[in-house]
Amino acid sequence: MRDQADDDGFVLSRLPGPRWIGVDEALDDLRIVWRHHRIPVVAASGQALPLRVRFDMVAAFDVLEHIEDDIGALRAWRALLTPPGHLVITVPAGPELWSRRDDFAGHCRRYSRAGLRVERLRPLFRTLWPLAWLSARVSRGTAVSDPVAEYQVSGLLNVLLRFLVRTEEWLLHGSDRGRGTSWLLVARPTRGAADGSAA
């Protein structure tokens, strides 16, 4: 199962494994996912999932930060897992990186690693952290006025960013050290928590 965000099924279509189900509240996005990728989809809230089966994996990429009751969402997702199943999540990292882009994107929070009991947690986009920190400082107190200009990346800059991310992955693959602009989380339900009760 995958809680669909803004990529209209692109990430979901690249995940390994034969069977995935996309979940989103936006019917237009679900239509695109089905039309382009032929992936089964369900129109539902990420916190009120009308699913009666359990899954080997629940994945939510840049979804949790948009949900006010993130603990409730995690409980709902965990309740969908088979006992040996995995929960895979990416979230924006570092409360100190909060900027106008977070306000514009509808984020409720950015995350630190404190208090997480997980199987694996590692930072992503570590090479971008200094730039994100500087951008957050410079833009503090201002709002996004032109979303297209704000999020547009030139071809040359995109090539440079891709090179930096690939170099980081090559040098630091598997390492959980450092700071990044996002977290990659892999967790299992705690023993006896298959009913969706709190960890």
Residue 165 pLDDT greater than 60, yes or no: yes
Of the ranges 102-111, 171-180, 188-197, which is most confident? 102-111
Give the separation between CA 192 and CA 170, rounded to whole angstroms: 38
Residue 197 pLDDT greater than 70, yes or no: no
pLDDT confidence of residue 3: 41
pLDDT band of residue 117 (cuts 50, 70, 90) is low
pLDDT confidence of residue 91: 92
User: Could you tell me which of 2, 12, 61, 8 has the C-alpha nearest to residue 35?
Assistant: 8
Sequence-distant (6+) residues with CB within 8 A of 108 are 65, 66, 67, 68, 70
The whole model's pTM is what? 0.63
Share of the chain above pLDDT 70, in %: 86
pLDDT confidence of residue 8: 67
Give the separation between CA 18 and CA 103, rounded to whole angstroms: 36
Rg (CA), the chain: 18
Residue carrying structure tokens 């951008």: 135
What average pLDDT does the segment 140-151 reach?
79
pLDDT confidence of residue 199: 35
Reduced to 3 states, what is the DSSP secondary structure of residue 61?
strand
When mean pLDDT is compared across 7-21, 25-39, 122-136, the lowest value belongs to: 7-21
Residue carrying structure tokens 């189900």: 21
pLDDT confidence of residue 65: 94
CA distance to 9, 66, 140, 158, per residue, from 103 (Å): 24, 10, 11, 24
Residue 154 pLDDT greater than 70, yes or no: yes
